[in-house]
């Protein structure tokens, strides 16, 4: 609990994350927040869905702790979105795999993310479904209501829309500044 | 979630009458409400934040099912009180709304899909993300719904493998999700 504001909407952590009191974060021990990330109300983050298949490179994250969800800096998770590590069968056993999100990632309200990797400066609109093991590279815009099919790899600077999601255009160079989420972070008061 | 109508055996608490198999895995934040009976079979996994609502009809879920978070199972408005049956090995993904009368063995209901009231789903069906099955609709076995209401029949013959995969997934989830069966008894 924060000392100065006992009943604000957000709890601010030491690294500047603003986490709503009404978010539903499960398995907090397995989630890494890079700092300055905003998590709004009713967001579900499934940190409990850990990797059970032993990894060869010993990638257990910092200090040997298993990591289910890794999130970079200046990310913004709007109301009621859901982050969930994807799972699949591999060599006869089922395992979940970590969900990695880089910096300056915006995820719109009610979107469900089961991707393997979301690159930096990615903007995902409202009511999107990002399928299992999708890889989204940097500077991608996913428009509202898109259903990205499982295992899709979205190249950098793409605009993706539709059901199923397809690349419908490119992000122009002038637009790139719009992906910076520092101002949004600052605008979130307690 | 409060119903204005009088109900015969209304318990004051939202706790509903349940028959839970001892090998069921149910997350702490799952919500079981309603006045009719909720039956959950063995080796079924109910993720946290799942809502099972038996206010209008009983719910029966078979063995080896996976019901994901934020999905809503059970009638949301008054209808026939025949109840709904989910057979063995059914996977309900995040945010799906299921009001069907019955769902056949090994069916998969994907993210944010909607199964209308009293619909009947055959065996090994797959309802794609955000797809909808209408009220009273009968979907034959092996149907796949995808995209904007397109459908096809998938007879690739791998349904036994798929059932095995669901069973494996249940095994893993059993280790990962802290079980809170006692709370719902």
pLDDT of res. B65: 94
Is A3 inside a domain boundary? no
Domain span including residue A135: 10-187
Are the Cβ atoms of B111 and A26 closer than 8 angstroms? no
Lookup: tokens for B85: 């049956």
Lookup: tokens for A151: 């295992």
Give me the residues paired with residue B52 across strands: B32, B73
Q: Is pLDDT of A178 > 90?
A: no
Residue B3's pLDDT band, with cuts at 50, 70 and 90, is very low
Q: Which of A54, A83, A91, A129 to mutate to test the interface with B (most CBs of B within 10 A)?
A: A129
Across chain A, mean pLDDT equals: 88
Q: What confidence tens digit (pLDDT) does each residue in B52-69 have?
A: 999 899 999 999 999 999
Q: Is pLDDT of B165 > 50?
A: yes
The A-side interface with B (CB below 8 A) comprises: 24, 26, 44, 46, 48-50, 52, 82, 84, 87, 89, 93-96, 112, 114, 129, 131, 147, 163-164
Residue B29's pLDDT band, with cuts at 50, 70 and 90, is confident
Mean pLDDT value of segment B82-109:
93
Total tally of structural domains belonging to chain A? 1
Is A182 inside a domain boundary? yes
Task: Tell whether B94 is within 8 A of chain A (Cβ).
Answer: yes
pLDDT of res. A64: 64
Q: Is pLDDT of B77 > 50?
A: yes
Q: What confidence tens digit (pLDDT) does each residue in A84-139 have?
A: 999 998 888 899 999 999 999 999 999 999 999 999 999 999 999 999 999 999 99
Task: Tell whether B171 is within 8 A of chain A (Cβ).
Answer: yes
Distance in angstroms (rounded) separating the CA atoms of residues A164 and A147: 5
- The number of C-alpha atoms within 13 Å of B153 and in the hemisphere containing its C-beta is 6
Q: Is pLDDT of B87 > 80?
A: yes
Q: Per the CATH hierarchy, to which homologous superfamily does domain B18-180 belong?
A: Hexapeptide repeat proteins (2.160.10.10)
Mean pLDDT value of segment A151-165:
94
Q: Which of A131, A72, A179 lies closest to B112 in space, CA to CA?
A: A131
Q: Which of A122, A102, A135 lies closest to A171 in space, CA to CA?
A: A122
Mean pLDDT value of segment B106-121:
93
- What is the DSSP annotation of chain B? ----S--TT--SSS---EEE-TT-EE-TT-EEEESS-EEE-TT-EE-TT-EEEESSS-EEE-SS-EE-TT-EES-SS---TT-EEE-TT-EE-TT-EE--SEE-TT-EE-TT-EE-TT-EE-TT-EE-TT-EE-TT-EEPTTEEEETTTEEEE---S-HHHHHHHHHHHHHHHHHHSPP-HHHH-
Mean pLDDT value of segment B58-86:
90
Is A126 inside a domain boundary? yes
- Report the relative pairing of strands A44-46 and A82-83 from DSSP bridges: parallel
Distance in angstroms (rounded) separating the CA atoms of residues A123 and A106: 5
Mean pLDDT value of segment B133-150:
91
Q: Closest-CA residue in chain B for A82?
A: B94
Which CATH number does the domain housing residue A42 bear? 2.160.10.10
Task: Locate the domains of chain B by residue range.
Answer: 18-180
- Sheet of A153-154: strands edge to edge? A31-35, A69-73, A99-101, A117-118, A135-136, A153-154
Which burial class, exposed, middle or buried, applies to A10 when counting CB atoms under 10 A from its CB (0-12, 13-18, 19+)? buried
Is A141 inside a domain boundary? yes
pLDDT of res. B180: 82
Kindly report each contact of residues A88-94 with a partner whose C-beta sits within 8 Å and lies 24 or more positions away, as own/partner: A88/A132, A88/A133, A89/B165, A89/B168, A90/A53, A91/A53, A93/A52, A93/A53, A93/B168, A93/B172, A94/A52, A94/B165, A94/B168, A94/B169, A94/B171, A94/B172
Q: Is pLDDT of B31 > 70?
A: yes
Q: Is B176 left (phi over 0), alpha (psi -120 to 50) or beta?
A: alpha
- Length of chain B counted residue by residue: 185
Task: Tell whether B180 is within 8 A of chain A (Cβ).
Answer: no
Across chain B, mean pLDDT equals: 87
């Amino acid at each position: 609990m924060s000392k100065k504001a006992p009943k604000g909407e957000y709890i601010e952590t030491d690294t500047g994350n603003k986490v709503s009191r009404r978010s539903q974060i499960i398995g907090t021990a397995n989630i890494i927040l890079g700092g300055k990330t905003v998590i709004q109300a009713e967001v579900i983050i499934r940190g409990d869905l850990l990797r059970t298949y032993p990894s060869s490179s010993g990638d257990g994250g910092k200090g040997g702790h298993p990591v289910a969800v890794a999130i970079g800096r200046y990310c913004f998770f709007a109301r009621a979105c859901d982050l969930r590590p994807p799972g699949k069968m591999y060599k006869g056993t089922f395992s979940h795999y970590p969900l990695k999100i880089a910096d300056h990632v915006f995820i719109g309200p009610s979107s469900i993310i089961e991707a393997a990797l979301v690159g930096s400066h990615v903007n995902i609109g409202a009511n999107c479904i990002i399928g299992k093991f999708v890889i989204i590279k940097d500077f991608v815009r996913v428009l509202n209501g898109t259903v990205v099919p499982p295992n899709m790899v979205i190249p950098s600077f793409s605009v993706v829309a539709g059901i199923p999601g397809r690349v419908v255009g490119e992000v122009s160079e002038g637009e790139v500044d719009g992906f910076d989420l520092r101002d949004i972070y600052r605008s979130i008061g307690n | 979630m409060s119903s204005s109508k009088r109900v015969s055996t209304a318990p004051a608490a939202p706790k509903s009458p349940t028959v839970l198999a001892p090998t069921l895995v149910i997350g702490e934040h799952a919500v079981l409400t309603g006045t009719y009976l909720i039956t959950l079979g063995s080796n079924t996994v109910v993720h946290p934040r799942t809502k099972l609502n038996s206010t209008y009809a009983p719910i029966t879920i078979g063995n080896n099912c996976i019901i994901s978070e934020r999905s809503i199972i059970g009638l949301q408005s008054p209808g026939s009180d025949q109840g709904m049956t989910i057979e063995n090995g059914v996977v309900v993904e995040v945010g799906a709304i299921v009001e069907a009368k019955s769902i056949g063995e090994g069916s998969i209901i994907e993210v944010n899909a909607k199964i209308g009231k009293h619909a009947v789903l055959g065996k090994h069906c797959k309802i794609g993300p955000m797809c909808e099955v209408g009220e009273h609709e009968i979907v034959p076995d092996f149907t796949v719904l995808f995209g904007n209401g397109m459908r096809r029949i998938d007879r690739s013959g791998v349904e036994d493998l798929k059932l095995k995969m669901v069973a494996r997934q249940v095994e893993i989830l059993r280790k990962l999700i802290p079980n809170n069966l006692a709370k719902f008894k």
